[in-house]
Copies of this chain bind each other. A is one copy, B any other.
Amino acid sequence: MLISLDMTGEEPLYLQLRNAIVLAIGSKSLQEGEGLPSVRQLAEDLGINAMTVNKAYTLLKDQGFIEIDRRQGAKVMVTREAYPHFPERWQEQFTLLIAEGHARGLGREELLEMYETLCNNLFEKGGTD
């Protein structure tokens, strides 16, 4: 899992990190049960503070993407119970993005093509799923 952060952009570091990990899980390049680096290790690798990594991990835990064991560290474990807002909140955001694309001139077919292209790009990064 290669993660690079944009230190100059406006997106918070902990969010960039959270998103990178969600992308990795979604593309199966991080698999269920797989362990994540320790907060200190990852912080050192990325050149950021350990508490910033901890913030990302805690967020991922609260959103049901990982579990954290004080002994072994964090590992991928997607659970539905931890995040009951799915799929309602997700659908809202999804609909909003579709609306944005359509408003900007993408027709139904173009939207569908775009969707499929993005899906393919995402899935070919990971394993055979």
The residues of A with any CB-CB pair to B shorter than 8 Å are 19, 22-23, 25-27, 64-65, 78, 80, 86-87, 90-91, 93-105, 108, 111-112, 114-115, 118-119, 121-123
Least Cβ distance of A67 to chain B in Å? 14
Cβ of B95 and Cβ of A121 under 8 Å apart? Answer: yes
Total identical chains:
2
Task: Give Cα distance in the complex from A112 to B86, angstroms.
Answer: 17
Instruction: Say whether, besides A65-B103, A102-B122, A23 and B96 are in contact (CB < 8 Å).
Output: yes
Q: Which residues of B contact A26 (CB under 8 A)?
A: 98-103
Task: Give Cα distance in the complex from A14 to B57, angstroms.
Answer: 29
Instruction: Say whether, besides A91-B114, A115-B94, A123 and B108 are in contact (CB < 8 Å).
Output: yes
Query: Could you show 29 A-B contacts with beta carbons less than 8 Å apart?
Result: A19-B96, A22-B96, A22-B103, A23-B99, A25-B99, A26-B99, A26-B100, A26-B103, A27-B99, A64-B104, A65-B103, A78-B104, A78-B105, A80-B104, A86-B104, A87-B101, A87-B104, A87-B114, A91-B118, A94-B101, A94-B118, A95-B122, A97-B97, A98-B115, A98-B118, A108-B119, A111-B119, A112-B115, A115-B115
